[in-house]
Chain A
Amino acid sequence: MSVVTLEIDGKVCTGVSGETVFDVAWNNGVKIPRLCHIGGLPNIGACRLCLVEVEGQKKLLPACITPVQEGMVVRTWSEKLIAHRRLIVELLFAERNHVCSVCVVNRNCELQDLAVELGLDHIRLRYQFPKLVADTSHERFGLDHNRCVLCTRCVRVCDEVEGAHTWDVSRRGALSQIIADLGEPWGESDTCTSCGKCVQVCPTGALFEKGKAVSEMRKDRGFLKYIVTAREKGQWIR
């Protein structure tokens, strides 16, 4: 492990080799937007919201899967990056039926927060209004495909942390959909342990606890950090 010094938005930052640009930026107070990334889960660089400009590179690089290098010069905010990020968020809103006003996480939603952070006040693209369903077959939780942004946090937490791998993605492109097991109703899944980790990491109201009305649900993100780092920090209590 060697210390790496780089420049992020004109600020000299230090990280450790092997760390990502994303982590070093956040540790130094530069909050790069993200949606598929969540601390404690493996990064996949899928949502493209954390794209940054790196001097000497023609292409934009996803900060969450780009390792830091000595002497790197990174820009996390520019007209071009903001325009790209806005378009990504607009595409997400237009692709499915995110009706915030009737959602369990209205005002506690990462997608909504991104829209505000990027200064969106309307969506320039034509809404697709796909006909999608909600799976409420599980006793305690529900999955509403209308609000899913396919970040796959649920897939990763179920596989990598809980070890159940109940969730996966079926089909391709705009038809992609999160499925339980081989497309079973969630409530009939043989592998689901009903731990609820997927519900807590979901950035939107796609995965939710039953019995919560509009705006009533708050997601608990802290638990994941605890699970991942508690052993090393000696925080296990039993």
Chain B
Amino acid sequence: MDPVNRKPSLATVWLGGCSGCHMSFLDLDERLIELAPLVEVKASPLTDYKDFPEVDITLVEGAVANRDHLEHIRTIRKRSKVLVSFGDCAVTGNVTGMRNAFSVPDCINRSYRDNSAVVVGIPSGNSVVPELLERAHPVHEVVDVDYYLPGCPPDGDAIHQLLVDLLNGRAPSSDGRRFG
């Protein structure tokens, strides 16, 4: 937050996850209306940004699973004052990381050949479809993370508590926190 007393800015990002954490964010229900005047939302999965903005707080959902995610999270880290691993895929790899016991070609074949009635093509990584990384990483394996909010998904109350704490310049409380 700069000295001109502007509102803190917030971004939410969706990497290798199911968007469930974002759905849970919407479960803040009427509390979203209370929070809305307190923050400026600069980026979200629904924002058509070309370049990730400079923000105070960024919540990252999902594991770092492909080349795009890797590039994106590095930019995000540079431009975020506070970076939060948001939900189990970001914190542990979770379901996105379940492929890690297998090789990338095995996973691709399983999805696009073995389990598909019509095989139209195998994505190999190009300008449209990003190449999968050798393994899906928890966010903190790739960049520094300031705070963690576990849960699949974290419930609305936990998200609300974290945001209120961060907006008041406090370290998030871990009361009632679950692991996994």
Contacts and interface: CB of A to CB of B under 8 A. Distances in A.
- A, B assembled together: yes
Interface of A: 93, 97-103, 106-107, 109, 112, 115-116, 119-124, 126-127, 129-132
Q: Which 8 A-B pairs have the closest CB atoms?
A: A100-B180, A101-B152, A115-B179, A129-B100, A121-B148, A131-B101, A122-B148, A129-B101
Interface string B139-171: 011000101111010000000000000000000
B179 A120 contact: yes
**What's the interface size class on B, roughly?**
20 to 34
B135 interface: yes
B101 A112 contact: no
Given A122-B138, A126-B141, A127-B92, A98 B180 contact: yes
B46 to A, nearest CB: 25
B56 interface: no
Interface in B86-107: 88, 91-95, 97-98, 100-102
Contacts of B92: 93, 99, 122-123, 127
A120 B177 CA distance: 10
Given A116-B177, A131-B101, 20 more contacts: A93-B92, A100-B152, A100-B179, A101-B180, A106-B180, A107-B178, A109-B180, A112-B179, A116-B179, A119-B174, A121-B177, A122-B92, A122-B138, A122-B150, A127-B92, A127-B93, A127-B97, A129-B93, A129-B101, A132-B101
Nearest to B172: A121
Contacts of B177: 116, 121
B23 to A, nearest CB: 14
Nearest to A130: B101
Given A100-B180, A116-B178, A122-B145, A129 B135 contact: yes
Nearest to A117: B179
Given A107-B178, A122-B140, A102 B95 contact: yes
A148 to B, nearest CB: 15
17 contacts: A99-B98, A100-B88, A100-B152, A101-B95, A101-B152, A101-B180, A106-B180, A112-B178, A116-B178, A116-B179, A119-B174, A121-B148, A121-B149, A122-B145, A122-B148, A127-B93, A127-B100
Nearest to B180: A100
B85 interface: yes
A130 B88 CA distance: 19
B127 to A, nearest CB: 29
A97 B101 contact: yes
